[in-house]
């Protein structure tokens, strides 16, 4: 019988406590990720960590530790780019921006990623809200795999569209951790599970 497989993915970004912290803090990552890595080593497990450029810059030692056993990918967001929009309301969501702004944001993320890691091969958009202005930039940058779609939203139309427009392969997310039920994992042979977000140390720590 085929062994059931679960693919763990983690989105790492600035701390979130009902809203993204400003000025940015990364204490949640620094506190929780080493504990996650210890557990994964103990169980001989590996995963994929999607990192914002902020995390690359602020947590270099930890990123090196992550990369010893795990894959890393670019996680693009709007929340740390105040030159495009302030912190009002839903300002961290890419859908609030013009197409040209989103392209400029993504190009800047790609260049920052190249400074630390090289050409991006894995990508996930913020909030799992695929945006074709953003995905086009990633495809042109040579990205091989994208994991921006929720499985439930990745219908036949979107499959055809991405295959026609982009050169990367889509790896949709089956389950978000907060909505995950054990029976869903039991029923699926292959599941991509998203753990997100990590929070500052405290009652909600892992």
Residue 200 lies in a domain: no
Q: What is the CATH number of the domain that holds 157?
A: 3.20.20.370
Q: How many domains does the chain have?
A: 1
pTM, to two decimals: 0.87
Alpha carbon 126 to chain centroid, angstroms:
7
For residue 143, give the 3-state DSSP assignment. coil
Residue 203 lies in a domain: no
- Of 10, 48, 5, the C-alpha closest to 188 is 5
What is the distance between the alpha carbons of residues 150 and 124, in angstroms, rounded to a whole number?
11
What domain range is 49 assigned to? 5-195
Question: What DSSP character marks residue 88?
Answer: S
- Of 109, 26, 37, the C-alpha closest to 73 is 109
Residue 162 lies in a domain: yes
Residue 35 lies in a domain: yes
Mean pLDDT by 10 residues, the chain (206 residues): 74 82 86 93 93 93 96 84 57 79 91 94 91 94 94 92 94 74 58 72 52
Residue 107 lies in a domain: yes
């Amino acid at each position: 019988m085929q062994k059931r497989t679960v693919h763990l993915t983690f989105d790492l970004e600035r701390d979130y406590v009902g809203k993204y912290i400003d000025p940015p803090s990364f204490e949640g990552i620094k506190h929780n990720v080493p504990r996650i890595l210890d557990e994964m080593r103990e169980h001989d497990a590996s995963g994929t960590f999607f990192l914002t450029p902020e995390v690359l810059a602020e947590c270099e030692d930890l990123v090196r530790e992550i990369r010893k056993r795990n894959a890393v990918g670019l996680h693009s967001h709007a929340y740390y780019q105040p030159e495009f929009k302030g912190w009002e309301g839903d300002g961290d969501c890419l859908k609030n921006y013009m197409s040209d702004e989103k392209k400029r944001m993504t190009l800047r993320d790609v260049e920052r990623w190249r400074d630390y890691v090289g050409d991006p091969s894995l990508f996930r958009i913020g909030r799992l809200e695929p945006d074709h202005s953003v995905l086009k930039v990633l495809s042109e940058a040579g990205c091989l795999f994208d994991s921006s779609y929720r499985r439930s939203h990745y219908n036949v139309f979107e499959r055809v569209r991405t295959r026609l427009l982009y050169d990367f392969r889509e790896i949709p997310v089956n389950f978000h951790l907060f909505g995950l039920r054990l029976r869903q994992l039991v029923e699926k042979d292959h599941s991509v599970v998203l753990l997100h977000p990590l929070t500052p140390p405290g009652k909600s720590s892992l």
